[in-house]
Amino acid sequence: MNAPSPPALYLKQLQVGPMANFVYLIGCPRTKEVAVVDPAWEVDRIARIAQADGMKITKILITHTHFDHINGVEELLQRTDAQVFVHKTEVEDLPGATANLRQLESGDVIQVGDVKLTTVHTPGHTRGSQCFLVSGALLSGDTLFIGSCGRVDLPGSDPKSMFESLGQLKRLNDHTVVYPGHDYGDTPHAPLADQKRRNPYLLIQSIQDFLHFLGHGTRPVL
Ligand SMILES: [Fe+2]
């Protein structure tokens, strides 16, 4: 007997705001439920697009709690009764946290209709940065960009954790399509195999080389 095929996916990538953020709508075409990933900047537009497609926003997924990824959460909660999913280490960084808040750990699965998203904790850019893996798509937040990776010189950043997180992502299926948290690359999304060939941060093999590349390398005293 053949294995059941994965459910069809509703996926929209919207560029919003002054920092080239990407917001995602991820949902189930059958039940018409949809999750908004990193709602920010243009809540009205995000809600209108979901409504025009007949989709009902039931969940909000946060890749990390930097302002440019979450500044639409409160407004969206005024319009919907969505549950808000954030990594457990960043719960307190989410202003306006409500009874709708749900804490995530790596491996947790979020169900949106028939669609299942798996949480992958990828600290480095922030302690609670996480990616969401769904039907061959990786929503990579500010961990992995097309052609680069997230900053690791901010409060809560950790370059070594970033190196390990990128190593974790490199082990995913090569056909996985990377959907980043910002439009910083030469294309809005790309297969992981492509990024493993040409993203310098994925090409580096050792933590020492990674730290040197970032400018964090320790120089000999003499
Ligand atoms: Fe960020």
Residue 1 falls inside a structural domain: no
| Angle value at C-alpha 67, between 50 and 210, nearest 5 degrees | 110
What distance in angstroms lies between residue 135's CA and the mean position of ligand 1's atoms? 24
What's the gap in Å between 117 CA and the centre of ligand 1? 21
Strands 56-61 and 33-37 come out as: parallel
Domain membership flag for residue 42: yes
Domain count, the chain: 1
**Cα of 152 from ligand 1 centre, angstroms:** 10
Asked whether residue 154 is domain-assigned, the answer is yes
pTM equals 0.94
How far apart CA 62 and CA 94 sit, in angstroms, is 9
> Ligand 1 center to residue 157 CA distance, Å?
10
Give the domain extent around 42. 10-214
CATH code of 121's domain: 3.60.15.10
The pLDDT profile of the chain, 222 residues, written as one tens digit per residue, is 566 676 799 999 999 999 999 999 999 999 999 999 999 999 999 999 999 999 999 999 999 999 999 999 999 999 999 999 999 999 999 877 677 999 999 999 999 999 999 999 999 999 999 999 999 999 999 999 999 999 999 999 999 999 999 999 999 999 999 999 999 999 999 999 999 999 999 999 999 999 999 886 554 544
